[in-house]
């Protein structure tokens, strides 16, 4: 836990200070998505009581910005997949509990958390669903239409259709970025120290993931 907290603090140093308090949508969902990673990790380890909170955070992150849609789906796939695989493995390893036994009563509350997660999902997505039904078109439909027609209305397509003089002025305006421009973080070349530290942190996280997976396999392989 301490090592994870220290790694998060170090990774936060790679972010601009505006990202920690900015109301820009991609920045607003950054730390909730980090929370979602740990929630899905806990789900994959079998903690089904975090299902409602996971659905709440996933809904918030997804509705904050479309950038988080695919990563959120991937995290939920890992968490729910691990939760289901762990449940199946435990059922195969243990005999079926007798009706009314303590083991059967301990499994019953899991469905309550699933029902609570479904209820939370209904509350979180009620407003988009109502807007989609009553709107002509709804917000979700507009998002799909915008994504489907982005090629004809993209900045690159319009820039190619400009006259040479206007095109040069547009390119100069785009390149004239300041430190307050969010695109400056993408265009600016990181220093060697930032690159080396990022590679070292990613390598350490990869080694920790491999070691944790190996320990999990050893625990499951122990005779009971």
List of residues 6+ apart from 58 with CB closer than 8 A: 36, 72, 75, 76
Give residue-wise pLDDT tens across range 35-69.
Answer: 999 999 999 988 899 999 999 999 999 999 888 99
pLDDT at 169: 47
What angle in degrees, to the nearest 10, is found between the helix axes of 126-134 and 139-148? Answer: 80
Please name which of 7, 14, 4 lies closest in space to residue 38, comparing C-alpha atoms.
Answer: 4
Instruction: Give the model's pLDDT for residue 220.
Output: 55
User: What is the pLDDT, as a whole number, of residue 16?
Assistant: 76
Answer whether residue 96 shows pLDDT above 70. Answer: no
């Amino acid at each position: 836990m301490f090592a994870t907290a220290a790694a998060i603090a170090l990774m936060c140093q790679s972010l601009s200070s505006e990202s920690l308090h900015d109301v820009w949508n991609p920045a607003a969902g950054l730390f909730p998505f980090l929370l979602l990673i740990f929630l899905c990790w806990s789900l994959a380890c079998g903690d089904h009581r975090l299902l409602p909170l996971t659905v709440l955070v996933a809904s918030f992150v997804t509705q904050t910005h479309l950038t988080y849609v695919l990563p959120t789906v991937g995290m939920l796939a890992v968490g729910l997949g691990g939760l289901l695989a762990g449940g199946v493995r435990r059922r195969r390893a243990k005999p079926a509990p007798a009706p009314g036994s303590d083991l059967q009563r301990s499994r019953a509350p899991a469905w309550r958390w699933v029902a609570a997660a479904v209820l939370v999902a209904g509350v979180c997505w009620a407003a988009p669903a109502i807007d989609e039904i009553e709107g002509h078109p709804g917000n979700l439909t507009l998002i799909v239409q915008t994504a489907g027609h982005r090629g004809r209305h993209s900045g690159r397509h319009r820039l190619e259709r400009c006259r040479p003089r206007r095109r040069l002025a547009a390119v100069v305006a785009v390149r004239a970025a300041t430190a307050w421009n969010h695109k400056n973080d993408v265009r600016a070349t990181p220093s060697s120290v930032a690159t080396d530290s990022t590679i070292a942190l990613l390598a350490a996280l990869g080694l920790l993931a491999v070691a944790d997976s190996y320990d999990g396999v050893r625990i499951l392989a122990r005779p009971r």
